[in-house]
């Protein structure tokens, strides 16, 4: 399944809403899109809204870690937004809830950058 993206530039960050499934077949598309977004920013502060993502596999988790690292290299940060119990369980089981800042709403995440 292809991913779709909706980028919204806010005051000092970008909200990147993703729709689809983040898996072996779509990670290249995600990586390319986010790379373009990061390259356009002096400081890569990204709020990734995953509320319309139905599935993430281990390849997708790996890409999210890589994106977080790239943001940090550009004096920025990647924070995640989702309410899905399935995705939340995945982050808890893998321990990634300790690696990422995770919020339930975009507004809560945006407050981090104020």
| Rounded Cα distance, 26 and 52, in Å | 15
Decide: 112 and 101 in contact? Cβ < 8 Å. Answer: yes
On the question of pLDDT at 1 being above 70, the answer is: no
- The predicted model gives 42-62 an average pLDDT of 95
pLDDT in tens, 10-36: 888 999 999 999 999 999 999 999 999
Burial (CB count <10 Å: 0-12, 13-18, 19+), residue 48:
buried
Contact 12, 45 (CB under 8 A): yes
Question: Residue 32: its pLDDT value, please?
Answer: 95
Band of pLDDT at residue 69, cut at 50, 70 and 90? very high
Give the confidence band of 41 by pLDDT, cuts at 50, 70, 90.
confident
Q: How many CA atoms lie within 13 A of 94 on its CB side?
A: 19
E strands along 1-114, which residues?
Answer: 4-9, 14-22, 45-56, 77-81, 101-103
pTM score, whole prediction:
0.94
DSSP 2: -
DSSP 29-42: HHHHHHHHHHHT-S
Is the model more confident about 101 or about 113?
101
């Amino acid at each position: 399944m292809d991913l779709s993206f909706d980028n919204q530039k806010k005051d000092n960050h970008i909200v990147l809403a993703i729709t689809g499934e983040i898996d072996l077949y779509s990670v290249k598309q995600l990586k390319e899109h986010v790379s373009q977004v990061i390259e356009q920013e002096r400081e890569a502060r990204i709020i990734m809204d995953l509320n319309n993502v139905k599935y993430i596999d281990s390849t997708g988790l790996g890409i999210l870690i890589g994106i977080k690292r790239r943001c940090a290299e550009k004096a920025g940060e990647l924070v995640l937004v989702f309410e899905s119990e399935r995705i939340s369980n995945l982050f808890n089981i893998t321990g990634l809830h300790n690696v990422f800042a995770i919020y339930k709403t975009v507004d809560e995440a945006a407050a981090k950058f104020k």
